[in-house]
Structure 1
Amino acid sequence: MSNFDLTRRNLLRAGGVVAAGAAVNFLPGVAFANPPSSTGQQTKTVTGTFTPSISDWFYLPVQVPKGVNQIDVSYTYDKPAVPAGTRGNACDIGMFGPEGHDLGNAKGFRGWSGGFRNSFSISATEATPGYLAGPIKPGTWHVILGPYTVAPQGLNYSVTITLHFGPQGAPFRANPAPTSAPAKQRGRSWYRGDCHLHTVHSDGRRTPDQLVADARAAGLDFVVSTEHNTPSAHLQWGNYATDDLLIINGEEVTTRSGHWPAIGLPAGEWIDWRYRAGDPADFRHFVDRVHKLGGLVTAAHPFANCFGCTYEFAYEIADLVEVWNGPWTDDDQASVTHWDGLLRGGRFIPAIGNSDAHNSDQVVGKPHTVVLADSLRKEHLLAGLKAGRSWLAESSAVQLSFTASVPGRTADIGGRLPAEIGTPVTVTAVVGGVPGTTVTILDQLGPEHSETVPESGTATVTWTTYPRYSRWVRAEVRRPAAGSSPLTAPMVAMTNPIFLGRN
């Protein structure tokens, strides 16, 4: 057993960098002897202390000899009482193999559980959810520790590594999700999907089969699997897929400067997260990587009120903004207001809404995004999302269409209606399944026209404008609530804009 007090002074002496981002800071390593026989196990424990003035990531080298067929890791840390308003201790954990742990090294990545689990195992045949099964090769492995928040008293940790010796088990066989869901295929149509979801493969409580069942019950056509910082679920969705729900791979890239789901990744593809907004070149590098792989980048829950959750990166290279995350709250209103401000300033980044459901008390599909796509296939859905051909809904009971038209020509959500500045444009919102709500049509000046929906829940709302006055139009459906104004009441549905004019 070794003990190491990691203060700022001895970190500098060790050549570490006290800074955010992907600084490489090593903890004292552990080495295991070759076993006297081909079976058995060895265990070693490392203890130490993190102080509040600390970097984001630390690597504990583990020298793994030949003949190991399984690695078990467990860890604990203390949680002393702290004054109100002071952050207590929280520490993440993961693992890199002997192929390396440098930034972006997908070959070395072997798993991540953040702070959700206190132990994990990896073998050739299977691995704890969040981790990747595969051969246990000899060499230097690294347990990665991420002191998320550190109490003023410091964070005392203990990491225990157990190596099991013996022959490698049968190779793990990946079974990714099918690329189609024929029972829901309707050609060019509006498809409902939730693009931000979690299971036990990161910090969710649902198993994959439970998530599939809840998504089907919610009336969704597709979902995107976005586990925090790991692609482990990608390799198993084929075990749970049905012919009426398309499952798309993604990853919620969870940094210390905010979260950005990468959606539409190839199965098993991993995107690194060890940088902050102060490292813009690293962020751009991985955004470019997602785009090269055919995926999209989402600025998730931009104003979420938790440390490390608020989106601090550049909006201009994001493809989507998640303006509505789970049940409607004040931070969603802040996101819509900010997104609307970007739109007024001439920067259109399509809005989406997702449930971000983790546990059984969080409803899958509340909200979700309804996208116009040429088919229920990943590439067509992503194209519709990127173009803003979409609207957001509280549930599948909500129906909405929104158009802008002049004689002989009509534009739908995300489109452009070419018209001279003096040509009258008829804007029409048709809603259903929304009793007790108010429909509002907005442009760059704000709300322009509102009508109350009758108890039948259906209404057709029209308004006339001109390209001279409105550069774009969009619609919101809100449910009046005590203490809320018409502009901050809970959202039931909202659209991306339709642009007016010839440019």
Structure 2
Amino acid sequence: MSPVNRRQLLITAVSAGAASVVLDPVSFAAAAGPGPQTRTLTGTIAYGAPDWVYIPLDIPGGVNRLSVTYSYDRPTPPPGTEGNALDIGVFDESGHDLGERAGFRGWSGGFRDSFTISASDATPGYLPGPVRRGRWHLILGPYRVVPQGLKWTVTVTLEFGADGPPFVPNHSPDHAAGRGKAWYRGDMHLHTVHSDGRRQPAEVAAGARAAKLDFIVSTDHNTSSAAGVWGAYAGPDLLIINGEEITTRNGHYTALGLPPGTWIDWRYRAADGALDRFVRDIHKAGALAVAAHPLAPCVGCGWKFGFEGLDAVEVWNGPWTLDDEAVLGNWDNLLVAAGRSDRWIPAVGNSDAHSEPQVIGLPQTVVHADGLDRRSILSGVRAGRSWIAESAAVDLSFEVATVSGRRAGIGERLDVAEDTAVTATLTVNGAPGCVARFVTDQGQRLVMPLPASGEATVSWTTTPRNSRYVRAEVRRLQPTATTADTMVALTNPIFLGKTR
């Protein structure tokens, strides 16, 4: 056993700056026999600590498995504050600098207290592969620290010997059977045991099929490890797209449609000016960047980066709540600010389901796409050719048209003169006990109760001079714990008039 001097945390904090701390390296002897080597490390993270603490591990040759366990104290926090929370992950000898993709080997946040990595297997959230000689870095993330500080203990065990057979990833295909050009239902924010979810990938796929979804996006926190297993659960009836939820200290965003194995870094705050760099990386990979639950009340969840450069905003996350209502209002303000520009940010809605009883597909984004394939689904989302529903039981169509027959649908623009009469028409099925609302840049313009059958067609006429855009909502007149009613469906806008 070789404890780390706790004073080192204070010494290196001065030289490393506020963002991170690097402790002194921990050494291991070369293999001297068949048994494993273990080192136990301890330290204290003070209140107001930096975001990341790195523990360098000098790994000798001949190691075939790295195993780590950790724990930390949980003293009673002062009234009105939350207790200690400490995350963990690891980078290998390829590097641990910001954006160092080659060195990333895994992250479990605070969801599990141990992990293991070998050439043949790894704990979910971590990437299988050889444990090569060189300097690795454990990363500790003090998510919350009470005024008394946070005392931690990490135990590292190395096993020696020949590597086992290499892990062979089973990636999901980029396409499923589909119905050609059509509307496809999907949930683009889902978690498994590869981060802080409790569902196995097989359970998530089964839940998606039960919800009558056509596609899902896997968005485990801060890791790409699930991409290696989704091929076993995809099929002609279900497209599974790789993604990641990037959980920074100033908000979360999802990367939708990442190629297998692509990892996006999360170790920055809004003040660091790093977001643009990683959004560019997402776009270079052919994926989308979406602000997730921007006003969620959890620590570090509120979105502080602004929306410039993002491809969509998640206005509806899980069961309808007050923060969803607030995000919807803020997003509508962005539509107003866009004016006559075609530069606007579409809305999406997803379940963010982690475990029972959270419902996969509540809500779901319904996307108009050329086919059921990764590229077509992402193109539909990016264009705003989508609407959001609480379940597959709800269906709608929404368009605007002139008396001469010119038409536009969700996410499109009807390019007509300012004084042209334009009629917006919403057809709804599966919404008993609800009301339909039409919303423009002036706010709510029409509220129409739907019949008990939940099936109706509602129309309203305006002009581009009067309404820069029109969008539709369907609400159930049933309060939630935090809202006066419940959202059932909402569309992206249809813009009216010419661009400037």
CA distances 1:116-138 after superposition (whole Å, capped 9, x unpaired): 01000000000000000001101
Task: Quote the residue 1:97 is aligned against.
Answer: 92
The answer to whether the Cα contact below 8 Å between 1:257 and 1:276 also exists between their aligned partners in 2 is yes
The answer to whether the Cα contact below 8 Å between 1:7 and 1:50 also exists between their aligned partners in 2 is no
Percent identity, please. Answer: 55
Among residues 493, 498, 501, which one is paired with 2:497 in the alignment?
501
Whole-angstrom distance in 1 between the partners of 2:7 and 2:86: 15
Whole-angstrom distance in 2 between the partners of 1:419 and 1:63: 68
Task: Quote the residue 1:297 is aligned against.
Answer: 289
**Aligned-residue offset at 1:83:** 2.3
Answering whether residue 128 of structure 2 is matched by residue 127 of structure 1, we say no
Whole-angstrom distance in 1 between the partners of 2:175 and 2:48: 49
Amino acid at match of 1:82: P
SS in 1 for 2:279: helix
Among residues 44, 49, 62, which one is paired with 1:49 in the alignment?
44
With the length of structure 1 as denominator, give the TM-score of the two structures.
0.96
Paired residues for 1:59-458 under 5 Å: 59-182=54-177, 185-280=178-273, 282-346=274-338, 348-406=344-402, 407-458=404-455
Whole-angstrom distance in 1 between the partners of 2:65 and 2:480: 57
**Aligned-residue offset at 1:356:** 0.2
Amino acid at match of 2:87: D
**Aligned-residue offset at 1:317:** 1.1
Task: Quote the residue 1:10 is aligned against.
Answer: 11
SS in 1 for 2:219: strand
The answer to whether the Cα contact below 8 Å between 2:179 and 2:371 also exists between their aligned partners in 1 is yes
Amino acid at match of 2:18: V
- Sort the Cα spacing of 1:488 and 1:302 in 2 relative to 1 into closer, same or farther, 3 A: farther
SS in 1 for 2:75: coil
SS in 2 for 1:74: strand
**Aligned-residue offset at 1:450:** 1.0
**Aligned-residue offset at 1:36:** 1.6
**Aligned-residue offset at 1:443:** 0.5
**Aligned-residue offset at 1:483:** 8.1
Answering whether residue 464 of structure 2 is matched by residue 467 of structure 1, we say yes
Whole-angstrom distance in 1 between the partners of 2:460 and 2:270: 42
**Aligned-residue offset at 1:482:** 4.3
Among residues 27, 30, 33, which one is paired with 2:29 in the alignment?
33
SS in 2 for 1:336: helix
CA distances 1:35-72 after superposition (whole Å, capped 9, x unpaired): 223x2201010001000121101110111111100000
Amino acid at match of 1:226: T
Whole-angstrom distance in 1 between the partners of 2:371 and 2:76: 54
Whole-angstrom distance in 2 between the partners of 1:455 and 1:151: 53
Whole-angstrom distance in 1 between the partners of 2:270 and 2:308: 13
Amino acid at match of 2:6: D
The answer to whether the Cα contact below 8 Å between 2:8 and 2:24 also exists between their aligned partners in 1 is no
Amino acid at match of 1:16: A
**Aligned-residue offset at 1:201:** 0.4
SS in 2 for 1:228: coil
Whole-angstrom distance in 1 between the partners of 2:232 and 2:458: 46
| 4+ long deviations beyond 3 Å | 3-9, 482-485
Whole-angstrom distance in 2 between the partners of 1:212 and 1:372: 22
The answer to whether the Cα contact below 8 Å between 2:9 and 2:23 also exists between their aligned partners in 1 is no
Whole-angstrom distance in 2 between the partners of 1:55 and 1:4: 18
- Sort the Cα spacing of 1:340 and 1:319 in 2 relative to 1 into closer, same or farther, 3 A: same
Amino acid at match of 1:434: A
Q: Kindly tell me the number of residue pairs found equivalent between the two proteins.
A: 493
The answer to whether the Cα contact below 8 Å between 1:393 and 1:494 also exists between their aligned partners in 2 is yes
Amino acid at match of 2:77: V
SS in 2 for 1:4: coil
The answer to whether the Cα contact below 8 Å between 1:62 and 1:141 also exists between their aligned partners in 2 is yes
CA distances 1:307-342 after superposition (whole Å, capped 9, x unpaired): 011111120111100000000011100110110111
Gaps of 5+ in 2: none
